[in-house]
Amino acid sequence: MRTRECGAAGECARNSLSRTALLRSYHKTVRAQLRPLSWARERGARNGDGRSVSVAPSLPCFWSCRNEDVLIIMATPAVRLFRRLEGLFCVYKPPGVHWKLARDTIETNILKGVNATPSVPLPQKVRFLTHGGSDTESDTPKGLTLSAVSLPVLSKHPLVAGPEFQHVKVGVGHRLDAPSSGVLVLAIGNGNRALQDLYSTRVTRDYTVEGEFGTATDDFSHTGRVLEKSTYDHITLDKLERVLAMLQGVNQKALLTYSNVDMHSQEAYELAAQGLLGPEGKSAPILKGLRCVHFQLPNFTLEVQCLNETQKYLRKVVHEIGLELRSTAACKGVRRTRDGPFTLHDSLIRHHWTASDVMQAIRKYHSSKKKRKSAQGTEQGPSVMAANQ
């Protein structure tokens, strides 16, 4: 009896040693297969579980090696879709909607579109399972057998890990207050850096401002509390245009003052020719253009080109125009028609705030940007040749 027990113990020890040897041989084979990717492992990339990841640009997957398993994680369709969504685009913000609500709505729609993409199959994990045998004459174990089994990694299941994308950073350009409407520039992912570069180039913005003579309010809008009423029959289009010319001249002098450029230099001439002459950094609001496009008492409509403005400042301009004409005026609406290279034609209306429409808008902006660069290159070519001659 003692001899049989010793034999069974020796058989278990031999099976344990054979399992250890088999594991070492398996890991040695895996390391030999992953050795061509060792250069990528040195990049220090890490996946969500903190395990070392080797990334090969020529391969469409990520390899992860651990002590007991090998995971192959394919680049998911959601990641590929999000990469196509990175960039700049613009939407049309309707009046009465806060810009934060517009941004949150677009962020929610993008998350729904990205997470709705078909998910990849669960990664497989190789496990070694032991099976014990029993003798026909007694219940003592005769030996252990090993079998390699491929099992799905349930920790990667969407019902366990949740949606693949739970937050998307959507940046906002020059903002619009709730009563205003028009072009609102947004950025996704790496587009936030491009958004900062865009506004560092002193881009101008165009507005359409509607006013009404005869009323003065506490917040310069037609919905505010009425403070005063006055007559406006003496106002004519010529008088209004003279006041607009006076305001534009005052702002033109302020533009030259804040630009910090010698007005007698070649640099000032080139900046003015390109429309880039403007203040360095933050400054007071400046009106670069001001003209009347519609006049029918008591209503009038202005087109404004400005820098560093706010919508409240534009309403105050309407109020000051009324005072200069010996009357009063209140603003009925402010609509932004252009913000840098983005116009109303490029804006997405509320029903098109989806991931597919945003992707098309970003692609369109990239193509138009390339066309502008190529056009600038062709224009600079003859001038450089003429200068060399």
SS3 271: helix
Neighbours of 198 (CB within 10 A): 19
Q: Please tell me the distance from the alpha carbon of residue 92 to that of residue 184, in angstroms, as a whole number.
A: 6
Cα atoms found within 13 Å of the Cα of residue 172, Cβ hemisphere only: 18
341 preceded by cis ω (within 30°)? no
**Contact, 120 vs 84, CB < 8 A?**
no
Q: Please tell me the distance from the alpha carbon of residue 156 to that of residue 154, in angstroms, as a whole number.
A: 5
How many H helices and E strands in the chain?
A: 10, 15
Q: CA angle, corner 204, sides to 201 and 205, nearest 5?
A: 135
Structure tokens at 1: 């009896």
Q: Tell me 349's DSSP state.
A: P
**Contact, 305 vs 287, CB < 8 A?**
yes
In the block, which residue shows the tokens 């998911």?
76
Hey, which residues are catalytic here?
177
Instruction: Please list the alpha-helical segments (H only) found in the chain.
Output: 2-34, 38-41, 77-84, 99-115, 158-161, 191-199, 237-258, 266-274, 311-324, 355-388
CA distances from residue 243 to 159, 207, 246, 271 in whole angstroms, order as listed: 66, 18, 5, 28
Q: Which amino acid, 169?
A: K
Q: Please tell me the distance from the alpha carbon of residue 134 to that of residue 182, in angstroms, as a whole number.
A: 80
